[in-house]
């Protein structure tokens, strides 16, 4: 367990983590727990991003949470690059902004908004942040009531000269986000890194991305990294993985050795 840098009442605390100072909710059972214990979250994803994100690139991150991946992405693209980070939960968004500010990050634009296929308003209730929960697992499509938050289409809200990566972790809304980004994807042909852990939505999501001219590969990083920043050997996430897909434009001559191709008729979580 890393030394806490804030000793104050309330649910937030801070540690010095792999990618900078990180403020997080001590009651968050996945992202917060991982940062507090290991000083990182799903570092295997960051290692993958480092293989194709370069200085000067533009990255779009749909579902940034508190910035566990926003911070390393900002370093990968450097001062000449830009990260557009979207997070709809008010309290989580405020923590994201705090982490950008405390690390003096200037190349990230944080957007308090949800992304989807249609422009409008989504209502998001404040959760009980002083109680244990998976605060990154909020499914917007199932919510009722709450404060109004803008819902935007990527095609409408961003005008980009280029785009290297779109990272999407939006708890079942991935299909909707991509539908609202068709023009951006067609114009810039970015890499796509998309969560796909809902069996009932998997086939439609895969079919959509393939229809845009992409080859898809599974990326299944374990939650626990033995080489974690804190050098903590205890695995508190046994057998837990993230289920994501890496989309590569079909015209790019890239060989993904060691990565299994995605099929709409199969899913890594089937049979579990």
pLDDT band at residue 271 under the 50/70/90 scheme:
low
What average pLDDT score do residues 20-43 get? 97
Task: Report the candidate in 222, 215, 221 with the shortest Cα–Cα distance to residue 255.
Answer: 215
pLDDT tens digits, residue range 106-165?
Answer: 999 999 999 999 999 999 888 889 999 998 877 766 667 789 999 999 999 999 999 999
Number of neighbouring beta carbons within 10 Å of residue 70: 25
For residue 142, the model assigns a pLDDT of: 66
pLDDT band at residue 193 under the 50/70/90 scheme:
very high
Q: Where are the alpha helices (DSSP H) in the chain?
A: 31-38, 43-49, 70-77, 90-102, 154-157, 174-179, 182-188, 199-211
What average pLDDT score do residues 229-255 get? 96
Among the listed ranges 49-53, 129-133, 185-189, 207-211, which one has the minimum average pLDDT value? Answer: 129-133
Decide if pLDDT at 7 tops 90.
no
d(CA 174, CA 168): 6
Q: Are the CB atoms for 199 and 269 separated by under 8 Å?
A: yes
d(CA 223, CA 180): 30
For residue 200, the model assigns a pLDDT of: 93
**Cα(first)–Cα(last) distance of the chain, in Å?**
30
Give residue limits of the domains in the chain: 42-249
Decide if pLDDT at 185 tops 90.
yes
DSSP codes joined into one string, 60-103: EEE--TTSTTHHHHHHHH-TT-EEEEE---HHHHHHHHHHHHHT
pLDDT band at residue 4 under the 50/70/90 scheme:
confident
pLDDT band at residue 269 under the 50/70/90 scheme:
confident
The dihedral of CA 118, 212, 157, 204: what is its sign?
Answer: positive
Strand order of the β-sheet with 147-152 is 114-115, 147-152, 120-124
What average pLDDT score do residues 249-271 get? 89
Cα of 169 vs its chain's centroid, Å = 4
Tell me the residue ranges of DSSP E strands in 72-187: 82-86, 108-111, 114-115, 120-124, 147-152, 165-168
The architecture (CATH level 2) of 42-249 comes to 3-Layer(aba) Sandwich (3.40)
SS3 state at 58? strand
pLDDT band at residue 220 under the 50/70/90 scheme:
very high
For residue 136, the model assigns a pLDDT of: 82
pLDDT tens digits, residue range 47-89?
Answer: 999 999 999 999 999 999 999 999 999 999 999 999 999 999 9
Number of neighbouring beta carbons within 10 Å of residue 251: 10
Among the listed ranges 35-39, 150-154, 162-166, 257-261, which one has the minimum average pLDDT value? Answer: 257-261
Tokens for 271? 């049979």
Model pTM above 0.75: yes
Q: Are strands 120-124 and 165-168 parallel, antiparallel or unpaired?
A: unpaired
């Amino acid at each position: 367990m890393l030394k806490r840098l804030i000793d104050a009442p309330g649910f937030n605390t801070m540690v010095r983590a792999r990618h900078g100072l990180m403020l997080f909710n001590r009651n968050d059972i996945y992202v917060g727990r991982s940062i507090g214990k290991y000083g990182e979250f799903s570092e295997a994803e960051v290692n993958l991003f480092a293989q194709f994100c370069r200085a000067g690139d533009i990255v779009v991150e749909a579902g940034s949470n508190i910035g566990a991946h926003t911070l390393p992405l900002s370093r990968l693209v450097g001062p000449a690059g830009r990260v557009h980070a979207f997070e709809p939960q008010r309290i989580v968004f405020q923590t994201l902004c705090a982490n950008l500010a405390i690390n003096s990050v200037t190349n990230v634009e944080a957007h308090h908004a949800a992304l989807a296929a249609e422009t409008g308003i989504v209502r998001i209730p404040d959760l009980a942040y002083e109680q244990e929960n998976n605060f990154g697992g909020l499914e917007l499509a199932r919510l009722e009531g709450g404060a109004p938050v803008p819902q935007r289409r990527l095609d409408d809200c961003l005008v980009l000269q280029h785009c290297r990566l779109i990272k999407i972790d939006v708890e079942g809304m991935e299909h909707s986000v991509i539908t609202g980004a068709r023009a951006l994807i067609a114009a810039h042909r970015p890499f796509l890194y998309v969560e796909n852990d809902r069996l009932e939505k998997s086939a439609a999501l895969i079919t959509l991305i393939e229809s845009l001219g992409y080859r898809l590969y599974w990326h299944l990083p374990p939650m626990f990294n033995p080489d974690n920043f804190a050098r903590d050997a205890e695995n508190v996430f046994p057998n837990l993985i993230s289920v994501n897909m890496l989309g590569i434009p079909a015209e790019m001559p890239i060989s993904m050795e060691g990565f299994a191709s995605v099929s709409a008729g199969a899913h890594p979580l089937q049979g579990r």
